[in-house]
Amino acid sequence: MQIVISSGDITANTSDVIVNAANSSLLGGGGVDGAIHRAAGPELLAACRELRSTDLPAGLPTGQSVATEAFALPARWVVHTVGPNAHAGETDPELLRSCFRTALATAEELGAESIAFPAVSAGVYGWDPETVADTAFQELLAHEPQTLQRAEMVLFNDRLADLFRRRLRKLAG
């Protein structure tokens, strides 16, 4: 699977799947989550409310993923994953690994050929960006793709994209 790193707005990404760094309520929030909800339009919130009223009445657990349509976004689907919040004591690296692993598995179930990730948990959730990069790339490199051909890390600025490039070079060696 090809791994690409870019900086920019994930809501403009044309991958089959964009990954939303969601909160467990799935009802929108700040950062990437808020941007994706705004760009997708009100139908995304309605779809998430439907998930909450049926399959996920208690919300989406940390480290898990679920898909919705992408509505007004250029992607086909949004895979919502709940990253661990270090500020709330969620510091188990397995929770962070699970975000990437379950998002990849969900994309494969959809038959997606491409997926775009943000830096899950590296923002307001307080995880070190290097740890997030290493975790993301370990999971991407270990993933045995069935339909996925391309994974892109879409970072919100050039500095973070450069950091991710350095970490990928170190891991891929």
Q: What is the CATH number of the domain that holds 120?
A: 3.40.220.10
| Number of structural domains the chain divides into | 1
pLDDT score for 123: 87
Furthest C-alpha separation in the chain: 46
Domain limits for position 82: 2-172
Say what the pTM is: 0.97
Task: Give residue-wise pLDDT tens across range 80-125.
Answer: 999 999 999 999 999 999 999 999 999 999 999 999 999 999 989 9
Catalytic residues: 33
Burial class (CB in 10 A: 0-12, 13-18, 19+), 27: middle
